[in-house]
Amino acid sequence: MLFYSFFKSLVGKDVVVELKNDLSCHTGKRRVDMDSCCRIAICGTLHSVDQYLNIKLTDISVTDPEKYPHMLSVKNCFIRGSVVRYVQLPADEVDTQLLQDAARKEALQQKQ
Amino acid sequence: AQDITLRDTSDSGVSVFVLHPAFFYRDLYLLLFQGQFISTFVGHLLANLVLHQTVERIHVGKKYGDIPRGIFVVRGENVVLLGEIDLEKESDTPLQQVSIEEILEEQRVEQQTRLEAEKLKVQALKDRGLSLPRADTLDEY
């Protein structure tokens, strides 16, 4: 719940979502070449988030459009929470101290 | 459980696309769907999608080709991203549409060059006593 609330507080801010999409292509016994792993990073405005940390972004742009021409005509998108690797946040929008304290509290509560 | 707004936009026939990694091995396979959602998706349990008038779009470099696919059923757990296509942006795309045969040929060529490059890489690593990590040792979810 903590990060759900956290992301809710960031609605309207610009973020970059990096997907871990490529790993699911490499299930099983096949060898993986990490360099050729596609790692799409999508920049956009955080529109909404849900309890599963699915993300909706508006006004998106892909950080490497030559590699991923697929998204050129997409403005808004929904990203399934389970495929997100990173969410890059604007540094001045996040109070890391507060977040750290809240996370500790949550961890303690979960232990009980 | 919320209804995600993509459902609403689909009623007006707006195109959406689904980034679908599980479909073709190794590749981030992109499927471009035009048409309507028939089923809803509720919260995170992205329910299985049933789409009609689907069009599969293959991208190679700056070219693309469309293959009409009819009705598609997609299992929700495979969905990575759903993008709402902006029809204006779509109409002034810098990409060039080509015929199905041509795009499939381009794809085959690209696939081949990639496999060859990878073979060389694997051999080079082998020669140095290294190997690529196995997929099952990487964390998945």
Q: By CB neighbour count within 10 A (0-12 exposed, 13-18 middle, 19+ buried), where does B17 fall? A: buried
For A35-73, the pLDDT digits (tens) are 445 567 889 999 999 888 988 899 988 887 666 767 777
The verdict on a CB contact (< 8 Å) between B46 and A81 is: no
Q: Is the pLDDT of residue B80 over 50?
A: yes
Among B4, B13, B6, which Cα is nearest to B36's? B13
- In angstroms, the CA B74 to CA B49 distance is 5
For B109-126, the pLDDT digits (tens) are 888 898 899 899 989 999
- Count chain A–chain B contacts defined by CB atoms under 8 A: 125
Which residues of chain A does B22 touch, with a Cβ-Cβ cutoff of 8 Å?
A: 24-25
- In angstroms, the CA A20 to CA A22 distance is 6
Would you state the pLDDT for residue B124?
92
DSSP state of A30: -
Residue of B nearest to A81 (CA): B44
How many other β-carbons are positioned within 10 Å of the β-carbon of residue A40? 24
A82 reaches B (C-beta below 8 A)? yes
Q: What is the pTM of this model?
A: 0.72
A111 reaches B (C-beta below 8 A)? no
Which residue from B86, B122, B131 is facing A75, i.e. has the nearest CB?
B86
For B19-64, the pLDDT digits (tens) are 443 333 222 334 444 444 434 443 445 556 666 666 777 777 788 8
Mutate to test the interface with B, among A50, A80, A83, A84 (most CBs of B within 10 A): A80
Q: Is the pLDDT of residue A10 over 90?
A: yes
Which residue from A25, A31, A33 is facing B28, i.e. has the nearest CB?
A25
Q: Which residues contact A38 (CB under 8 A, 6 or more apart)?
A: A21, A22, A67, A68, B28
Query: Mean pLDDT, to the nearest integer, of A25-36?
Result: 45
- In angstroms, the CA B108 to CA B68 distance is 19
